[in-house]
Structure 1
């Protein structure tokens, strides 16, 4: 049973919003494009692993994608499986080329196109998540749940290499095609239920309650000035900026397209790029509309708010992003033009 759906990473959403709204010749644009490719590659790797998990019996496993919790520090698990017998943390890697693991090293080397680069060792990463999740379980008084961890390589075209004295890594490092077999091994290891259905349900509710999406400050990360960010509503038909708001409709003077909801992606971009709070004056300036129209649009969204009248601040509900992307949006390719 999927309790937390796989979504496009918020960092990818932020990169896409930046690429839509920053100048074509901006010096950090290539860096943002590179980061977007990395985030989307990870997303598609998790989609592939999710396919294999679909063969598990729904009634026996609770599945959480991208669960982000807090121990002493926040940590995010690509996948968490919870059953009555055990919990399994999975770190998914979708990396091309050859991955070289050296015994005793905290780094992994990747060879691709005759170029070597050091990368963080995912086995060490998932071990840290294992420790943090065990601490989290203790703090929230969930006892008796054995926790296992795995690194799953999403594609068999990725080559894994190590030395004969280090082959034990393959106990915790597998290809996606072997995931169901590995889970069956764990079912043989843990033959009896350790927790009740009630505890699983309580644990699931607590995990979802404690989960929190993190929105990095991308303007600071990429050293981009807010003045570099293009404002206005983008036409969903021809992609031109900016549409005009006439008679409760957004109108594109270029292609004559009209829409009642074209402002939703624009407001989402604001939250993703500029600020996690929004006042009606800020929205009016951003969308190029008057204050009354900005107020009405904000009220129609029914967003959580604090303050009164002109000082009212609106913000997104917890773990919510307006107008989420789908796969067709991501395959257009316009982000890299």
Structure 2
């Protein structure tokens, strides 16, 4: 989206902020992978990014650890600065670069996730199993404190390196085996089956008219420079960069932002091609699924996202 909107677009800063926040979240989850290796692999089944509709409400678990004795939901946060968990108004207060701001309390977030998960277990008649919840702060330089009276914060909030010890403590707390391997696999398959990935029209989400998006095959080296197609090669007139496959990324952008289907005419217009024959050749070379008759043929470019 950022490379497809004009440089002076009114929503550009909001987009940059959202991208930064999502990047931080992704980085936090990636950084925790290192510490998973210290958990007993034979006793844990990992599920990541499960998002389920329950009671007309989508709840999402960053990571769910399934063991025979208990379940553990991990809410993962990648926040730098001084982090203070305050119980009177149930908020997380961050002080960073001389700025003080409040965030929704992740302890309450993960408790709601526990509730919804317990309802699903009841609905599908699983034996009762304890559900634990933890908030894992993954930024290595974060300083964490809490109100002296906030007992839950001291129990549920940990840093990444504390995951191994916390899991050991929970294993010592829950010694009774409830799920066998068959039940663990059944639960993991059920949750995976009902998980619905977050997929929204980002133009609508950020109130951006699709006609405002920059079309063309954008040069990977020159910001906002559009490449020209000639004799089977995309060339940039600004930096002389050339590519045989630059149109693929442009079509991926189209699939993400506009539609996962495209006609020859729409493709010709979006890629700034000179002829329908050029367009037809490029689309056919991608081996995309096709629907419709010759005159109304539609190419399903969502396949390009799967291959990405």
Equivalent residue, structure 2, for 1:111: 95
The CA deviation string for residues 140-182 of structure 1, in whole angstroms up to 9 with x for no partner, is 4444443211101113532223332223321111111101111
Matches within 5 A, 1:237-316: 238=222, 241-289=225-273, 290-295=275-280, 297-298=282-283, 301=286, 308-309=293-294, 310=296, 312=298, 314=300, 316=302
Equivalent residue, structure 1, for 2:49: 66
1:132 and 2:116 matched: yes
Task: Give 1:122 deviation, angstroms.
Answer: 0.5
**Which one of 149, 155, 159 corresponds to residue 165 of structure 1?**
149
Equivalent residue, structure 2, for 1:91: 75
Deviates more, 1:256-265 or 1:32-41: 256-265
Question: Is this contact kept in 2: 1:265–1:323, CA < 8 A?
Answer: no
Kindly report the root-mean-square deviation, in angstroms, between the aligned alpha carbons of the 2 structures: 2.7
Question: Is this contact kept in 2: 1:92–1:151, CA < 8 A?
Answer: yes
Question: Is this contact kept in 2: 1:90–1:150, CA < 8 A?
Answer: yes
**Which one of 9, 12, 21 corresponds to residue 38 of structure 1?**
21
The CA deviation string for residues 119-141 of structure 1, in whole angstroms up to 9 with x for no partner, is 10101111111112222333344
Question: Is this contact kept in 2: 1:304–1:316, CA < 8 A?
Answer: no
Question: Is this contact kept in 1: 2:290–2:297, CA < 8 A?
Answer: no
Going from structure 1 to structure 2, the CA distance change for 1:125 and 1:102 (only over 3 Å counts) comes to same
Equivalent residue, structure 2, for 1:334: none
Going from structure 1 to structure 2, the CA distance change for 1:230 and 1:99 (only over 3 Å counts) comes to same
Question: Is this contact kept in 2: 1:154–1:175, CA < 8 A?
Answer: yes
Question: Is this contact kept in 1: 2:146–2:154, CA < 8 A?
Answer: no
Equivalent residue, structure 2, for 1:10: none
Q: TM-score, normalised on structure 1?
A: 0.79
Q: Distance in 1 between matches of 2:64 and 2:286?
A: 33
Give 5+ residue unaligned stretches, structure 1: 1-17, 325-337
Larger radius of gyration: 2
- How many residue pairs match? The answer is 305
